[in-house]
Amino acid sequence: MLSDGVRVAVYDDSPAAHLEPLAPAWDGEGGRGLLLVQALAQAWGVATARPYGRKHVWFELRSGSGG
C-alpha cells in the first residue's frame, strides 16, 4: 500500500523478463493485460524475484489520477 494509492504485483513461473504491451487480435480472448496496465497505471515494470527466478509484473495506481 502506498500513501496515495496501491502497488500490485502478479507473479508467474515464466523466465521471460522482457515484456511489451502489444495489440491483440481483434477477436482474441486474451493478451490485453499489459495494455490495460499501461493505460491505467502511473508506473509499471517487470522484475525477476530471487532466488527462484519467478517473474513479476508490478504496477502502481494512484488515487485521484488515471493513466
Per residue in 16-54, pLDDT tens?
766 777 788 889 887 788 889 999 999 999 888 776 777
pLDDT at 41: 94
How far is 58 from 54, CA to CA, in rounded Å? 13
Q: Is the pLDDT of residue 56 over 80?
A: yes
pLDDT at 24: 81
pLDDT at 21: 77
pLDDT at 17: 66
What pTM does this model have? 0.71
Q: Supply the DSSP string of 3-67, one letter for each residue.
A: TTEEEEEEEES---------PPPTT-SS--HHHHHHHH-SEEEEEEETTTTEEEEEEEEETT---
